[in-house]
Amino acid sequence: MARILTILGLVIMVSSLLSSPVLAQDTDWTEWARQAELAYLNGDYAQASVLYTRLIESGVRDFTVYYNAGSAYYQNGDLGLALSYFLEAQLLNPRSQALNLNIARIRAERVDYLPESNDVVNVLGSATITIISLRELQIITLVVWSFWFALWGIFFISPSLRLRIRILQWVSGVLMVLFLVFMTTRMFIREFRGVAVVTSPVIQVMSGPGEDYLPLYRLFSAAELRLDDVQDNWARFSLGDGREGWVLRDAINPLEG
Amino acid sequence: MVLVGWMQSVNNAQDTLQSDLNADYFVEAEVSNVTPFVGEEVTYIFRYYAFNLTAGIYDDLPDFEGFWLSEVSQLVTPRVETINNRQYSVMEVFAVLSPLRAGQLIIEPGVLDVPETLFDDATMLQTNQVVVNVQPLPEDAPDNFFGAVGQYDMAVTISETTTMIGQPISLSVTINGAGSLERLTAPQLPVIEGWRAYRSETGYRSSDIGGLRLGEKTFEWLLIPDNAGTQVLPPIIFSYFSPQSQSFVTLTGESFSIEVFPTASGERRSPRQFEVEDNSLAIFPVIGVLRTESNSQGILFWLLWGIAPFASFGIGGMLFLRDYVSRRNRTQRQALAISRFSQRLTSSIDLPADDFSTHAEQILLDFVSDKSGKSLQTLLEAESILKENITRDGVDLFLRHFTEAQSLRYVPQDYQSSRKLYVNDVVDTMRKIDRSWRVS
């Protein structure tokens, strides 16, 4: 048993090492971050937004930077970009209370009322979004997965322990299925039904990918869409209430996560 | 549902009929309007004429590329039409469409399969292609136009004219008329200062009256007042394009005056979910290194997933293989036990008396070991195994032969005949034991 626990420990350690972020230190980045912070504290939100955006565009994927960029855009009155950066920050640190409060604030303030979609994949994929990040979920699922298979190893090696580990096998099996479902639905949504946020103050939704199609309705800044398809400069999307349409790709900001 | 009448035939049906004058069955297709505006509803009709009541299977609707397909229906019972003194049964399928863009749109031919009968082979009938020239909407669309094309009416109602702070009232907008109501989106709710608005239910129903498709769509909002006092809800404005008058029409709903009372505790202003004064968001200071992590895991992480199942089922597989090989060997040893016994005992007949005796004892024990698949060292162990697998008489015979083997130690080597007798006797006995061994 001790040997198996050691192996499990090693697996967890290796997976943690493999999944640990690449750390980068750049003096420019630190300077930009300092300047952005100063600009924000002095009430120059436009300058702060520009500097935080520059950091993000240069490759920084940091919760604090995303969060601060969201705050700067919010103060600047740009709900769309603010929500977009807050949602990016949420993918990295979903348990931040301040962040979740700001997201709720923007959803309450935006013009469009957009209920969450009721389809099973969306419900399952969204269930863990404010609890655990996808990376954490993947590591925990791997641990439970490995533990379940380790129990099968014990089952094969030691017939005398079979009865004793039966309950553990069931519990870990159920947990594994549960985590696998949550993980795969989130990965599916990320890959095939990515979220995008409307960043233009108002956009006209068309019935097809072009200006000559029928105009359907309008969406306002900070509306959240699920992207279904992209054709040239047009993106097909669906909303939680079932509405669909096409919008100009430049008017929305797809989340990178 | 049955749709009849009000057709502006595109392809002259009579022309088609002339060309198929003597045909027993033929098909045709047309649309109710070949020059509709973008978004205007048109009906596509597929007709199947059959002189005899030959059954046809409607194969597939055309693609209707460039159109929005709202509904498909067909005649419940065929109608009868006389053409050149021949009575035809006419089946009709209707598809309600709205063009999505201006310009020339082509509806590909519809296909109908006529199955084989006693008198005719199976046939596939194909309609003509239908060309629709869609007109663009005029440029001067009003601000409140969101794509509605048709002939509409609007009614706006509210559930209460008095309410309290935080108590919602329901605002309902019903749009009815002819047009693509199914696709109709909600009119823009004007910004109402001091109120929070939430979209609620949307209902839609349609019916056909005299061949005209009429419908009704209802949009509802919940409006929650934040301030006390008499407040006026601005009118809802809805614009649509009327193909009949070829112009935009704007409908303006009623304006409502609502009396909002303070809360039970006397407050005249509701604390909103987020106070406007609370806008100063705090930011987090950037300390230490900035991360550049991607949200995707690397390939090595996914390779780790294979380790546990590989190790677990690898061990399981190896154990299974080991067990299988062991069982196969045991079966082989069991099958060959008697021949091995006989061969070994016969070949040791020329050994010195002492050796022969020791040899014979070991060979007897080995026989039991081979048969049972268990390793054993003593006679006691052999006896215990024998008791489980053969009769009491068999066990006694075995013990007797074992004792004889021990006593042969004292018989001079010259007495080969007694040793041969012993070998023959014991081989014979062991054959009987082998045959009577219980199969486990």
| pLDDT tens digits, A214-230 | 888 888 889 999 999 88
| pLDDT of B117 higher than 80 | no
Which range (B25-29, B131-135, B172-176) has the least confidence? Answer: B25-29
Mutation pick from A148, A214, A217, A255 vs chain B, by most beta carbons of B within 10 Å, is: A214
- What is the model's pLDDT at position B417? 72
Q: What is the pLDDT of residue B4?
A: 31
A214 touches chain B (CB under 8 A): yes
Q: Distance of CA A181 to CAs A19, A130, A193, B307, B421, Å? A: 21, 17, 16, 21, 77
Q: Using the Cα atoms of residue A71, residue A76, residue A80 and residue A81 in order, give the sign of their dihedral.
A: negative
pLDDT band, very low/low/confident/very high, at B127 (cuts 50, 70, 90): confident
Nearest C-alpha of chain A: how many angstroms from B290?
6
Mean pLDDT, rounded, for B198-220: 75
Cβ neighbours of A60 in B, within 8 Å: 290-292
pLDDT of residue B19: 47
Candidate from A75, A138, A215 with C-beta closest to B281: A75
Q: What is the pLDDT of residue A48?
A: 92
Compute the nearest-CA separation of A87 from chain B (Å): 13
Residue with tokens 């024990």: B365
In degrees, rounded to 5, the angle at the alpha carbon of residue B292 between the alpha carbons of residues A184 and A122 is: 25
Global pTM reads: 0.56
Residues of A in contact with B289 (CB under 8 A): 23-25
B172: closest CA of chain A, how far (Å)? 16
Q: Check whether A8 has a pLDDT greater than 60.
A: no
Beta carbons of A14 and B304 less than 8 Å apart: yes
Interface of A with B in 148-167 (CB under 8 A): 148-150, 152-153, 155-157
Q: Which of B64, B122, B135 is nearest to B93 (CA)?
A: B64
Task: Identify the residue among B41, B280, B304 best suited for mutation to test binding to A, counting A beta carbons within 10 A and taking the highest.
Answer: B304
| Chain A interface test: which of B191, B291, B310 (most A C-beta within 10 Å) | B291
Q: Which residue has the tokens 């978004």?
A: B39
DSSP secondary-structure letter at A239?
-
Contact criterion met (CB < 8 Å) for B301 and A156: no
pLDDT tens for residues B34-90?
999 998 989 998 888 887 665 666 657 788 888 888 888 877 677 888 888 888 888
Inspect the interface and report whether the beta carbons of A23 and B273 lie closer than 8 Å.
no
Q: Which residue carries 């709720």 as its tokens? A: A104
Q: What distance in Å separates the CA atoms of residue B3 and residue B370, rounded to the nearest whole number?
A: 90
For the cut 80, the answer to whether the pLDDT of residue B209 exceeds it is no
In the predicted model, is pLDDT for residue A61 greater than 70?
yes
Reduced 3-state DSSP string for B203-249: EEEEEEECCEEEEEEEEEEEEEECECEEEEECCCEEEEEECCCCEEE
Residue range B265-282: average pLDDT?
A: 56
Instruction: Say what the pLDDT of residue A15 is.
Output: 52
Note whether B290 contacts A60, CB cutoff 8 Å.
Answer: yes
The alpha helices in chain A, defined as continuous H runs, are: 2-19, 27-41, 45-57, 63-75, 79-92, 97-109, 120-127, 134-157, 162-192
Whole-number pLDDT of residue A2: 56
A–B interface: beta-carbon pairs under 8 A: 167
* pLDDT mean over B325-334: 88
Chain B positions touching A31 (Cβ under 8 A) are none
pLDDT of residue B133 exceeding 60: yes
Distance in Å, alpha carbon of B314 to nearest chain A alpha carbon: 9
- For this complex, say whether ipTM is above 0.90: no
- Beta-bridged to residue A246, according to DSSP, are A206, A236
| pLDDT tens-digit readout, B15-40 | 444 445 557 778 889 998 999 999 89
How confident is the model over A94-114, as pLDDT tens digits?
998 889 888 988 887 777 767
Nearest CA in chain A to B315: A153
CA atoms within 13 A on the CB side of B84: 12
B284 vs B132 pLDDT, higher one: B132
**CA distance, residue A38 to nearest chain B CA (Å):** 10
Q: Please tell me the predicted confidence (pLDDT) of residue A205.
A: 92
Measured in angstroms, the CA of A106 and the nearest CA of chain B are apart by 9
Please state, in angstroms and rounded to a whole number, the distance separating the CA atoms of residues B79 and B341.
96
At A215, which helix (H) or strand (E)? Answer: strand A215-220
By the CB < 8 Å criterion, does A91 face chain B? yes
% pLDDT > 90, chain B: 20
Cβ atoms of residues B262 and B268 within 8 Å: yes
Closest alpha carbon within chain A to B274: A105
Lowest-confidence pick of A17-31, B63-77, B219-233, B329-343: A17-31
Query: Residue A200's beta-bridge partner residues?
Result: none
Region B126-141: what's the mean pLDDT? Answer: 90
| Dist. CA A128–CA A121, nearest whole Å | 12
Mean pLDDT check: name the lowest of A102-106, B23-27, B155-159, B387-391: B23-27
Q: Which residue of B has its CA nearest to A60?
A: B292
Asked whether the beta carbons of residue A67 and residue B286 sit closer than 8 angstroms, the reply is no
Cβ-defined contact of A146 to B293 (cutoff 8 Å): no
Mean pLDDT, rounded, for B374-382? 87
Which residues in chain A are contacts of B98 at CB distance < 8 A?
Answer: 214
A116–chain B Cβ distance below 8 A for any pair: no
The reported pLDDT for the residue numbered A4 is 58
CB contact under 8 A, A153 and B311: yes
Query: Who among A115, A145, A157 is closest to B305 (CB)?
Result: A145
Instruction: Please give the residue of chain A at the shortest CA–CA distance from B135.
Output: A212
Asked if B15 contacts B30 with a C-beta cutoff of 8 angstroms, the reply is: no
The pLDDT value given to residue B5 = 30
Query: Mean pLDDT over all residues of chain A?
Result: 85
Q: If you average pLDDT over residues B317-329, what whole number do you get?
A: 90
By CA distance, what is A93's nearest residue in B? B295
Give how far B414 is from chain A: nearest CA, Å: 56
* pLDDT score recorded for residue A234: 95
Q: What is the mean pLDDT of residues B335-363?
A: 88
Q: Spell out the residues 6+ positions from residue B271 whose beta carbon is closer than 8 angstroms to its own.
A: none
Q: What is the CA radius of gyration of chain A?
A: 22
Report the residue of A5, A156, A195 to disrupt the B interface, i.e. the one with the largest count of B CBs within 10 Å.
A156
Whether B327 shows a pLDDT value over 90: the answer reads no
Q: How far apart are CA B292 and CA B409, in angstroms?
A: 89
For residues B170-201, one letter each, b for 16 or more C-beta atoms within 10 angstroms of the residue's C-beta and e for the rest, the string is ebbbebbbbbbbebbbbbbbeebebbbbebee
Is the model more confident about B104 or about B439? B104
Predicted pLDDT at B55: 63
Residues of A in contact with B307 (CB under 8 A): 11, 146
- Taking the CA of residue B419 and the nearest CA in chain A, the distance in Å comes to 49
Residue A61 with chain B: CB contacts under 8 Å: 291-295
What is the per-residue pLDDT for B7? 33
Our measurement of the distance from residue A249's CA atom to the centroid of its chain's CA atoms, rounded to an integer in Å, reads 20
- pLDDT surpasses 80 at B264: no
